[in-house]
Amino acid sequence: MSTKLKSIMEAANRLTVDSIAQKPYCASSEETIDKIVDHVKQEGYDCLPVRSDDGAIHRIIDTARLENLTAWCDVEKASRKVTADYLVAREAPIFSILDRFEKRSFLLCLGPKGIDGVVTVHDLNQPAVHYFGLDRKSTRLNSSHLGI
């Protein structure tokens, strides 16, 4: 491998999930379910993290299920626990997560205080990622939306 190519690959490996992660829009008891549903319809989200009263994210809910709920206490019953399959460290190199998007449309970022971000296939379409020759057309990834 040429020195120039090796240098480019090393630089690409330093591009981490943290550089493209977004703060998630969450279902939260601080907003009415109707307001959350209106927002997710407007944005086209398919799934949302659920923020508990203590501020932590431990669950996710499909937005279609939210439309049928009337009380916040029903959200926990309708949501599912976040599993390790959804988690990625903020320090992980972007190239290390590409294969994971074939099974998941989003990953939740694990920071020092718990889940604090989200990364989707759309986030791969950022300028820093373009620099290294990636875009959503070349990665064969799904284009589902998550609340961000």
Write the DSSP string, 116-141.
EEEEEGGGGGSHHHHHTT--TTTTT-
User: pTM here?
Assistant: 0.76
CB 134 within 8 A of CB 36: no
Query: pLDDT at residue 132 above 60?
Result: no
The predicted structure's pLDDT at residue 137: 41
pLDDT of residue 8: 67
* CA gap 119, 121 in Å, rounded: 7
**% of the chain residues with pLDDT over 90:** 45
Residues with Cβ within 8 Å of 71's Cβ and at least 6 positions away in sequence, in order, are 33
Give the pLDDT score at 129.
54
Q: Of the given ranges (9-18, 61-70, 77-86, 97-106), which has the lowest mean pLDDT?
A: 9-18
- Dihedral in degrees, nearest 10, Cα atoms 85, 86, 88, 93: 80
- The Cα–Cα gap between 22 and 44 comes to 16
Q: Is the dihedral of CA 86, 88, 94, 97 positive or negative?
A: negative
The pLDDT value given to residue 138: 38
Task: Give residue-wise pLDDT tens across range 29-62.
Answer: 999 999 999 999 998 888 999 999 999 999 999 9
Work out the average pLDDT over 8-15.
71
More confident residue, 82 or 146: 82
